Amino acid sequence: LEPASVTKIMTLLLVMEAVDSGRISLEDTVTVSAYAAGMGGSQVYLEEGEQMSVGEMIKCVTVVSGNDCAVALAEHLAGSESSFVAQMNARAGELGMTETHFANCHGLNEDGHYSCARDVAIMTRELLKHPKVLDYTGIWMDTIRGGAFGLANTNKLIRFYNGANGMKTGFTDTAKYCLSGTAKR
């Protein structure tokens, strides 16, 4: 089925693998392209040419499911979203995710974009091997742009479920409500 923004678990996995391997750092500056700025759906309204750190963009992807930030990160890592999506699919194959195919890095509806509960669990478990991501997924409320833009987590379990610390929600009209949740007690 369509995974909506739960797709971003794989996006975050590739980003966190790049951070942990030293290919990029959380302080690196990402410059936003016109394409990334033009993403619809959930976003932080990035503008073409705007610059933001990798860490801030990860926060926007995890907390408010920023499609614009997901694409900007994908372009930063792979040069283009399509190259990044090829890496997502390759990584899914390496993990044994046999019922998944990504058509984009953000989860908006697109033909050939699907996953299943088992595969979502596989990529979530793999992302948890990068514990730094929990510093972001566990944020309930925060800001960016020096406090000028507020963020509230789309995953309400973070506030209301004892021990919840992640991972990702998603919604589109056709995918409906999607969740990969993690908690520690």
Active site residue: 8, 59, 115, 168, which one? 8
Stretches where the chain sits below pLDDT 70 are none
User: What are the C-alpha distances in Å from 131 to residues 5, 114, 142?
Assistant: 20, 26, 19
40-68 pLDDT per residue, tens: 999 999 999 999 999 999 999 999 999 99
Clarify whether 65 is annotated catalytic.
yes
One DSSP character per residue, 71-98 reads HHHHHHHHSSHHHHHHHHHHHHHHTT-T
Active site residue: 33, 65, 115, 180, which one? 65
- For position 15, what pLDDT does the model report? 98
CA distance 127 to 142: 22
Please tell me the pTM assigned to this model: 0.97
Clarify whether 8 is annotated catalytic.
yes
Clarify whether 21 is annotated catalytic.
no
- For position 8, what pLDDT does the model report? 98
> Which amino acid is residue 61, in one-letter code?
V
